[in-house]
Amino acid sequence: MTLAGDDATWSARFWTGNDEPAWAESVRVASPEFRICWNNDLRPAPHPTASQVRTVSSWGDATQAFIARTRVLVVGVGSVGLDVAQRLAATGIETIGVMDFDTVEALNLDRMIGATRLDAALHRRKTDVAVRLMESAATADNFTAVVHDLKITEPDGLRSALEYDIIFSCVDRPWPRAVLNQIAYADLIPVIDGGVAIVTFDDGRLRSSIWRAHTLVPGRPCMVCNGQLDLAQVRLDQNGHLDDPAYIARSGKESPSSQNVAALSAGASAALLAQFVSLLAHPGGLGAPGPLRFFLSTHHLEHVPASSGKYCPYEAETARADERHNLATAEGTKAQRGDSTTTPPAPGLEEAARLEQALAEAINGLS
Ligand SMILES: [Zn+2]
């Protein structure tokens, strides 16, 4: 690796024999002031498009060229992830991956903005909906959506995730969150995590809502150290106990909460996206903040007083990907996948889907 004197840009190359070296496309500098040094020959900076004038005037050509080339993966495209994916595409990012194996159901429609009744009736994959919405929103000339119909807890899912520069964690299960927590440190890929929780009174009325956002990167505490990942819950999830109502009842533990309100999940996606902008654009010269949480009842935003634990097993694996304690296993391939029953769609639905596809192609073809 070489550090250029003029603009402090890293370049890297490696030799596999006596031939010419292979040049690295980019070098990531993983810290709260995250940087990527691009090899402009291998991955040239895109020219800003007419749709990006206001974006570029907000942070300049150099930042746009940096952000647009960054490969971003969104793991989980439910209420928060779907919103995040669309806004990343509109910002001009050229390559966005989405990872989810779930399908759209009618009960998702109160919070997955952009998913339609037709999507639910056809049980379309959430990733297909995400791709359609990202392609509609994208402002880059060469936008590429990559679908990973995988779980981050399976070896293929983990391998796919390692191809990205930044990952959004928009999943709420402990096991996938543990895998993402590990990637942030062992593989030096920043992970932006967070979500929204609803708190109710015993009589069912709304007591408060709390949304959190934090960037997991060396120099900032991991999910365990900031109190957002319970190692005991990870073990229960790996053993399938969190889906076992009898076990939950016997143990007195709480099953994962499923409450969600579309009007509030936008707060969580905004908080995650603000972390993304701080990590990449360094507003005011500052990088990613420490963990944040917002209380809806009092409208109070606070910095969570968390720091890295001295013996944290995740942060102890920083930059030691090859020696990782493997959390993505064959069991993760099967776990939590429902039985997919494929019933053919009603004839009217097929016709509606054909018309929808034709309309989308016509709109995307407009210059
Ligand atoms: Zn930690």
Ligand 1: centre distance to CA 177 (Å): 13
Q: Centre a 10 Å sphere on the Cβ of residue 49 and count the other Cβ atoms it contains.
A: 16
Ligand 1: centre distance to CA 84 (Å): 25
CA-CA-CA-CA torsion sign (176, 228, 307, 286): positive
Helices marked H in the chain — which ranges? 53-69, 79-91, 117-121, 126-137, 155-161, 174-186, 231-238, 245-251, 262-281, 330-334, 347-364
CA-CA-CA-CA torsion sign (290, 294, 299, 302): negative
More confident residue, 278 or 257: 278
Ligand 1: centre distance to CA 75 (Å): 21
Q: Determine which of 98-107, 137-146, 322-331 has the lowest per-residue pLDDT on average.
A: 322-331
Distance, C-alpha 62 to centroid of its chain: 24
Ligand 1: centre distance to CA 307 (Å): 8
Distance, in Å, from the CA atom of 276 to the CA atom of 264, rounded to the nearest integer, reads 19
Q: Centre a 10 Å sphere on the Cβ of residue 265 and count the other Cβ atoms it contains.
A: 25
Q: What is the pLDDT of residues 353-366, one digit of tens each?
A: 888 888 888 887 77
- Report the pLDDT averaged over residues 266-295: 95
Residues 6+ apart with CB under 8 A from 46: 65, 68, 69, 92, 94, 140, 141, 142
Ligand 1: centre distance to CA 134 (Å): 33
Note whether 268 and 296 are within 8 A (CB).
Answer: no
Ligand 1: centre distance to CA 312 (Å): 5
Please state the domain extents for the chain: 51-339+360-364
Residues 6+ apart with CB under 8 A from 226: 214, 291, 304, 306
Ligand 1: centre distance to CA 35 (Å): 22
pTM for this entry: 0.91
Q: What are phi and psi of 98, to 5 degrees?
A: -130, 135
The amino acid sitting at 306 is A
Question: pLDDT value at position 242?
Answer: 82
- Residues measured by CB to lie within 5 Å of ligand 1, the ion: 222, 224-225, 312, 314-315
Ligand 1: centre distance to CA 257 (Å): 24
Residue whose pair of structure tokens reads 């990205």 in the numeric block:
164
Ligand 1: centre distance to CA 220 (Å): 9
Distance, in Å, from the CA atom of 302 to the CA atom of 307, rounded to the nearest integer, reads 15
Ligand 1: centre distance to CA 217 (Å): 10
Ligand 1: centre distance to CA 198 (Å): 25
Ligand 1: centre distance to CA 324 (Å): 15
- 250 has pLDDT over 90: no
Question: pLDDT value at position 221?
Answer: 95
Distance, in Å, from the CA atom of 105 to the CA atom of 123, rounded to the nearest integer, reads 6
Ligand 1: centre distance to CA 304 (Å): 14
The string of DSSP codes covering 153-205 is TSHHHHHHHTT-SEEEE----HHHHHHHHHHHHHS---EEEEEEEEEE-TTS-
Question: pLDDT value at position 256?
Answer: 54
The string of DSSP codes covering 295-339 is ETTTTEEEE------TT-TTGGGTT-GGG------HHHHHTTPPP
- Report the pLDDT averaged over residues 130-159: 95
Ligand 1: centre distance to CA 178 (Å): 11
Ligand 1: centre distance to CA 162 (Å): 20
Question: pLDDT value at position 241?
Answer: 82
- Report the pLDDT averaged over residues 14-18: 84
Ligand 1: centre distance to CA 174 (Å): 15
Ligand 1: centre distance to CA 213 (Å): 16
Overall CATH class of domain 51-339+360-364: alpha beta
pLDDT class of 174 with cuts at 50, 70, 90: very high
Ligand 1: centre distance to CA 193 (Å): 14
Which H or E run includes 92? none
